């Protein structure tokens, strides 16, 4: 216990009915942090105060070290009124001022001590510190009000509350108890119709005694453990479950003489931690016949429906063993184990039934069913979407691998969404793509096709793996492009934190594939391709797309009843330049944010992306080159000069050609700059063309001295128009030379 009797540790617990498990940890952290911050702002915590959060299925609690029973008094400057209102012409107090002073407990003698600041009167007063009772009441009200409650329920106050049966309250779950203790003393606060006490409750079934009297704020955690069979700390309970899971897997491994391990799933571990107060891990099993079903199905049903931890062997293959995290610890666990085994069996039987039934039909035979599945009311069905994805995937395949890849990409795109109308995916939507791969392999389709069906959803999140083959890359790119461009075209853009269609994730997926897979696909050409396909059903049905490395019109062959010239005009009419710009801006914004999150500086990222590089695979190399250039001693001066050149050229009306007539050069400084450029430009251009972007930028260092000398000694806006035009041409040549890798003016501070 603390030596200072006025500074003790504080405990607050809200005892409730079972809280939503997926939100429990967040609720516990929010409750304790808001409580602590409110007390801190009111001056009730000492400088070295710390808070510990507790959260179990039936309680939210906080333990705060070093809390005063009263905040310190403090001197404050109390604003009174304007000086011309409080004082008369002779400087004497007016009745209004005297009345205000009286309300503050002061009299006329305080007038002499008033401060006049900017024609406003202030009085220095001693403000009494808030008591812990009042401060905790305020903090408790704030903590409850600010809880990130997923869904509120309304209930009537029960018989032990202030006004039983006459009032109702709104909270995440009905509350039945409130503990508030400062050291060993109870604090008279209330919340949700409950008066604070030192009484709480232990585990529903395992507690040595159902009602626990907390002796001291510091004994709370240990008393709950010893008397109530409750591990109050969410983190400690989670760690205990992880330890027991590994120990149980090890024991099972010893018995079976094979290595077993529980599946790693932190979200499942968090959820199970939120479901039990005193965990007890048990081993269950099911019949091996169910292992004929793809393990993803069995794992998902055990995790999602039963909260079990499946056991994998050394090769990450599912076994018929699983771990149960029980909330009770009976002397004979066989009944608990048997009950769980009986519960899981029908779930596995359903999965097997779905799998067996689905394999009776081919994926191709299911394609017609996609016409009945709505994708978006403005974009049609999944069947129509499949045709658009096919067209895009085929064109990408043609570009990356010719006719063979184009045919495979088209076939994979045709089958990619077929598993959406299977029984298994209908029951477990998370398995879309995965089941398509299994069914394709069952039919004996090529593995490139099968894996492409599964992989076309990848990468699904940051850090996810890329598609395993080029067919998968083609379909994955096509699927994401169709989604992005299609939804942008109907105004479904992300706003603020809202992104219901996951377009930010889709954009990052496209970026990651283009960069990490080193795809030589130009960015705007990809967007234009998607726009082209989305713009017309007639185009989609009747025209086949070819290579798109040249003009868009050249991608379209003769349509039925049309010719190339007609197709060319039609394509140009269909393209919406705003759609291209909107999607490009969105994509580059995502790329910019992603690069900055990885540690790149804002200036360096902006300098690279401001040139709109179309081959995104070059971006990391361009960025590395700019980063290396920025470390050169000449870099700041060259960046500043580049910015100056950019500003000069922007103000010129009409186009400035990067051409120099050497016979018009007069000043020694402009002659020297032109001479330096004639040496540096070919070298920098050669290095740039060879892909040595770092070398290309470093070659520019030789321009620092002549550039500085030019701006110090040459008047660009000469009176002679020919001289002025020539000097502008020299600057345009300099600008062109310096900005091939990146816009170096963005590096200027």
Signed CA dihedral, 732, 737, 741, 742: sign only:
negative
Placement of tokens 């799998």 in the chain: 355
**Residue of 352, 430, 387 whose CA lies nearest to 538:** 387
Residues 24 and 35 both lie in one domain = yes
Domain annotation covers residue 318: yes
Helix 470-489 / helix 447-455 crossing angle, nearest 10 deg: 30
In terms of phi and psi (left: phi > 0; alpha: psi -120 to 50; beta: otherwise), the region of 133 is: alpha
- Which burial class, exposed, middle or buried, applies to 348 when counting CB atoms under 10 A from its CB (0-12, 13-18, 19+)? buried
Q: Show which of 570, 587, 604 is a domain's final residue.
A: 587
pLDDT of 748: 87
CB-based contact 275:281 (threshold 8 Å) = no
Residues 352 and 480 both lie in one domain = no
Structure tokens, 86: 């409080």
- Which burial class, exposed, middle or buried, applies to 536 when counting CB atoms under 10 A from its CB (0-12, 13-18, 19+)? middle
Domain annotation covers residue 604: no
Q: Show which of 84, 103, 127 is a domain's final residue.
A: 127
Helix (H, G, I), strand (E, B) or coil at 263: coil
What is the layout of strands, in order, in the sheet containing 120-127?
A: 74-82, 120-127, 115-117
Domain annotation covers residue 2: no
CA 314/CA 336 separation, integer angstroms? 28
Residues 44 and 153 both lie in one domain = yes
Number of domains in the chain: 5
Residues 558 and 682 both lie in one domain = no
pLDDT of 6: 63
CA 672/CA 702 separation, integer angstroms? 12
Residues 109 and 241 both lie in one domain = no
Placement of tokens 């076309």 in the chain: 456
pLDDT of 45: 94
Neighbours of 209 (CB within 10 A): 10
Residues 179 and 242 both lie in one domain = no
Domain annotation covers residue 15: yes
CA 182/CA 404 separation, integer angstroms? 76
Residues 473 and 550 both lie in one domain = yes
Residues 465 and 558 both lie in one domain = yes
Domain annotation covers residue 559: yes
pLDDT of 475: 98
**Residue of 80, 79, 45 whose CA lies nearest to 63:** 45
Using a cut of 0.85, tell me whether the model's pTM lies above it: no
Residues 635 and 665 both lie in one domain = yes
pLDDT of 568: 41
HEC readout, 136-150: HHHHHHHHHHCCCCC
- Which burial class, exposed, middle or buried, applies to 478 when counting CB atoms under 10 A from its CB (0-12, 13-18, 19+)? buried
Its domain, for residue 479, covers 366-587
Instruction: Tell me 261's DSSP state.
Output: E
pLDDT of 77: 84
Q: Show which of 170, 200, 226 is a domain's final residue.
A: 226
Q: What length does the chain have? A: 749
Placement of tokens 């089958």 in the chain: 415
Helix 635-650 / helix 721-738 crossing angle, nearest 10 deg: 130
Residues 110 and 189 both lie in one domain = no
CA 274/CA 272 separation, integer angstroms? 5
Domain annotation covers residue 399: yes
- SS3 percent helix, strand, coil of the chain, rounded to 5, is 55, 15, 30
Residues of the chain with pLDDT under 50: 1-2, 537-575
pLDDT of 151: 80
DSSP 383-403: HHHHHHHHHHHHHHHHHHHHH
Residues 434 and 526 both lie in one domain = yes
Alpha-helical runs (H) found in 517-667: 523-535, 537-542, 564-574, 577-597, 602-609, 619-630, 635-650
User: Which CATH number goes with the domain that contains 726?
Assistant: 1.10.730.10
Domain annotation covers residue 613: no
**Residue of 448, 450, 388, 381 whose CA lies nearest to 415:** 450
Domain annotation covers residue 606: no
Instruction: Tell me 200's DSSP state.
Output: E
Residues 253 and 330 both lie in one domain = yes
């Amino acid at each position: 216990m603390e030596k200072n009797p006025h500074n003790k540790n504080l405990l607050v617990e809200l005892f409730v009915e079972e809280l939503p498990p997926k939100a429990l940890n967040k609720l516990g952290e929010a409750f304790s942090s808001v409580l602590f911050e409110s007390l801190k702002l009111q001056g009730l915590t000492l400088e070295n105060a710390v808070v510990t959060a507790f959260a179990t299925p039936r309680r939210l609690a906080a333990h705060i070290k070093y809390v005063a029973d009263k905040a310190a008094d403090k001197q404050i400057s109390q604003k009174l009124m304007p000086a011309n209102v409080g004082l008369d012409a002779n400087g004497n107090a007016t009745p209004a001022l005297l009345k205000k002073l009286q309300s503050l407990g002061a009299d006329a003698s305080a007038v002499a001590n008033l401060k006049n600041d900017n024609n406003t009167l202030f009085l220095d007063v001693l403000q009494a510190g808030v008591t812990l009772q009042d401060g905790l009441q305020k903090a408790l009200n704030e903590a409850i009000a600010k809880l990130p409650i997923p869904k509120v329920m309304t209930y009537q106050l029960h018989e032990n509350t202030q006004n039983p049966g006459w009032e109702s309250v709104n909270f995440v779950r009905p509350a039945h108890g409130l503990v508030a203790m400062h050291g060993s003393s109870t604090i008279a606060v209330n919340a949700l119709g409950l008066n604070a006490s030192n009484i709480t409750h232990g585990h529903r079934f395992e507690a040595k005694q159902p009602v626990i009297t907390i002796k001291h704020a510091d004994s709370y955690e240990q008393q709950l453990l010893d008397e109530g069979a409750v591990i109050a700390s969410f983190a400690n309970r989670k760690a205990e479950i992880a330890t027991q899971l590994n120990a149980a897997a090890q024991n099972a491994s010893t018995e079976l003489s094979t290595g077993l391990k529980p599946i790693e799933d932190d979200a499942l571990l968090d959820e199970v931690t939120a479901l039990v107060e005193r965990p007890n891990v048990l081993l269950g099993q099911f019949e091996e016949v169910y292992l004929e079903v793809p393990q993803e199905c069995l794992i998902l049903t055990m995790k999602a429906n039963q909260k079990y931890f499946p056991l994998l062997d050394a090769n990450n293959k599912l076994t018929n063993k699983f771990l149960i995290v029980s909330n009770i610890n009976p002397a004979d666990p066989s009944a608990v184990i048997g009950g769980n085994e009986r519960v899981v069996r029908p779930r596995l039987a359903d999965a097997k039934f779905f799998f067996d039934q689905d394999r009776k039909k081919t994926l191709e035979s299911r394609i017609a069913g996609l016409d009945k599945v709505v994708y978006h009311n403005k974009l049609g069905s999944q069947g129509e979407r499949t045709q658009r994805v096919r067209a895009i995937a085929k064109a990408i395949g043609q570009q990356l691998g010719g006719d063979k890849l184009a045919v495979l990409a088209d076939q994979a795109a045709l089958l990619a969404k077929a598993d959406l109308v299977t029984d298994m995916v209908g029951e477990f939507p998370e398995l879309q793509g995965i089941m398509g791969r299994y069914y394709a392999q069952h039919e004996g389709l090529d593995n490139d096709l099968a894996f492409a069906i599964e992989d076309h959803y990848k990468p699904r999140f940051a850090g996810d793996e890329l598609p395993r083959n080029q067919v998968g890359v083609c379909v994955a790119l096509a699927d994401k492009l169709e989604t992005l461009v299609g939804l942008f075209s109907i105004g479904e853009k992300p706003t603020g934190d809202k992104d219901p269609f996951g377009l930010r994730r889709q954009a990052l997926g496209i970026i990651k594939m283009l960069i990490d897979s080193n795809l030589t696909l130009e960015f705007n050409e990809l967007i234009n391709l998607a726009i082209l396909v989305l713009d017309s059903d007639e185009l989609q049905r009747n025209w086949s797309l070819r290579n798109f490395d040249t003009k868009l019109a050249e991608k379209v062959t003769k349509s039925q009843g049309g010719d190339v010239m007609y197709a060319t005009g039609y394509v140009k009419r269909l393209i919406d330049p705003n759609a291209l710009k909107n999607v490009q801006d969105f994509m580059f914004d995502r790329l910019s944010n992603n690069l900055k999150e990885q540690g790149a500086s804002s200036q360096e990222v902006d300098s690279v992306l401001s040139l709109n590089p179309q081959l995104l695979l070059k971006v990391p190399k361009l960025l590395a080159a700019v980063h290396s250039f920025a470390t050169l001693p000449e870099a700041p001066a060259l960046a500043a000069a580049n910015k100056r050149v950019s500003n000069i050229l922007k103000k010129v009306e009409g186009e400035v050609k990067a051409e120099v007539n050497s016979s018009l050069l007069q000043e020694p400084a402009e002659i020297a700059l032109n001479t330096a450029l004639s040496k540096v430009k070919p070298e920098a251009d050669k290095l740039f063309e060879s892909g040595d972007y770092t070398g290309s930028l470093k070659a520019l260092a030789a321009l620092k001295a002549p550039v500085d000398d030019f701006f110090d000694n040459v008047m660009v806006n000469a009176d002679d128009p020919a001289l002025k035009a020539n000097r502008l041409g020299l600057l345009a040549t300099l600008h062109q030379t310096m900005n091939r890798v990146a816009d170096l003016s963005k590096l200027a501070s």
